[in-house]
Structure 1
């Protein structure tokens, strides 16, 4: 089996792996200014998408800009969520370098989409492919690829612990080669119950003091997770941005969430923001949590809320996930200020970071890979891939950390 790493190797973003010059696994974007896309020119016979986040699916429509019409294989929620994000990208950046596809390309995605559930093998570019629940976000999948000689497990992003929205992965299909994500390979996540209590106590303290808490969150997965937490602890909250539409969409796929009834309660508990008639500025005076995109402060309604509350030290910004280097969220964490609408804004409001991660941590990665001691391991999707590969080698694994552009023959 021949593997070509077109992106996502030694970095978090633009994931893309070409298998046997014909089957493409993911085709994402590396968020930044400017954004980066997978390297090289690729013309696959079929595309398989592990899940809908931009770093794995954000550039998929661009693959349909030429004459070829390769089928795109994904789970039903992944297909719908990826199209939703692509539509938003087109709306915000269409016709610029920040958007590598056109409206026509996006329309073609629907024409070539093929949907599959977990555990049901299907054929793609001459390979047998099977999806397994990855426990990352609704619809996320481990991808098992069998070319008749080698079995490849592409983990995609995964979590081994339960979240409120989805259960952790329990799938461990047999594989000869594992391409494994490593986002949190040197981090030990705090116990989720402890983390939730810390978050809730912090938010409740701010609200009691008369402040407002802005909770930047990724539209897919994290927004719903935070709404579930707010409902469980009866925290008054608003929800804004694309996360509103994603929450509605996920209600149509109850089999892909852990507790559909809890998600419905969380939706009913939150107050939806329309954004009309100056509503957002009025909300910043409310004693409530505002769950809003974007999770890294790189766009969305957060660009209104954060500057609006930034001058008051009673207020709080509670970041809930990974902040990629070069994003305003990362800048805010490191410097106490960030650029909004072209201006650097000092932030007097409190800034806190909570690791509501949807990824396996170091122990979760080791636990998962314990089932693959006899397999070749390629470590990707992380800032410290080589360091983690070295740790695996010390434990007796055959592990490497490819670079973008590398080709492996296994």
Structure 2
């Protein structure tokens, strides 16, 4: 009678299928994107692939800082037929192997296998020299606070032909947020200007406002408890037919069931 969601996306992605609603009495659900909507995914993918092609055609390298779990694999599948010299570095390599150990949970395990073959894997520090000269590099960390990405960025940052494509949320007080807002990052303890192109694309794995509302209505619960959100109040009008609870941290509440 009780459904407790983690972070969810309700649309089918290239790596995994969307979360499916379940009839329940009590629904605990994330509300991260309350009041916000994502652009249409196919249009984002096209813009992203067009930018990759543009950078490669002008002789540059595309550096893609990416979360190791989910985002790296999603992008590998998206890029698998692009025909570029592509490398993947960081923890995403081992996560990809873990995903392939459980193909029953993937939307298309065959597509991920093909993508894995199309990407060269950086297995030691010496291989990073070759990767740094590639056309496309997908690497952790996703918010540029650590991982191999900083080494690549240091090498690529001063060539205007190169590009850093941001594909994930950049939290406050991270290098990624600093890059988006001021065009610089902290490398080796020093603030350094990034002189290559910087673009951001919305590949969020969270459901947006409308998708969460639709998911709640399809579950048709009596009680809806919304968590993990700074904008939970934005759901109240759209969910007026339900008993919506917005608990604060440490607050105790009782469900009438």
Q: CA deviation at 1:216?
A: 0.9
Quick one: distance in 2 between partners of 1:282 and 1:371? 50
1:407 aligns with 2:257: no
Picking from 7, 14, 19, the partner of 1:164 is 14
Quick one: distance in 1 between partners of 2:228 and 2:151? 31
Give the SS at the match of 1:187: coil
Give the SS at the match of 2:80: helix
Picking from 234, 248, 253, the partner of 1:388 is 234
1:241 aligns with 2:90: yes
Q: CA RMSD in A?
A: 1.7
Q: How does 1:94-173 map to 2 (within 5 A)?
A: 151-170=1-20, 172-173=21-22
Aligned length: 255
**Which segments of 5 or more consecutive residues in structure 2 lack a partner in the other structure?**
none
Pick closer, same or farther for the CA change 1:391–1:315 going to 2, 3 Å. Answer: farther
Question: Is the 8 Å Cα contact of residues 231 and 266 (structure 1) preserved in structure 2?
Answer: yes
Quick one: distance in 2 between partners of 1:198 and 1:330? 21
Q: CA deviation at 1:255?
A: 0.3
1:354 aligns with 2:201: yes
Question: Is the 8 Å Cα contact of residues 27 and 221 (structure 2) preserved in structure 1?
Answer: no
Q: CA deviation at 1:374?
A: 4.6
Name 1:24's counterpart in structure 2: none
1:308 aligns with 2:186: no
Give the SS at the match of 1:351: strand
**Which segments of 5 or more consecutive residues in structure 1 lack a partner in the other structure?**
1-150
Name 1:205's counterpart in structure 2: 54
Give the SS at the match of 1:363: helix
1:297 aligns with 2:147: no
The structure 1 segments of at least 4 consecutive aligned residues displaced by more than 4 Å after TM superposition are none
Name 1:331's counterpart in structure 2: 178
Name 2:76's counterpart in structure 1: 227
Give the SS at the match of 1:250: helix
Give the SS at the match of 2:236: helix
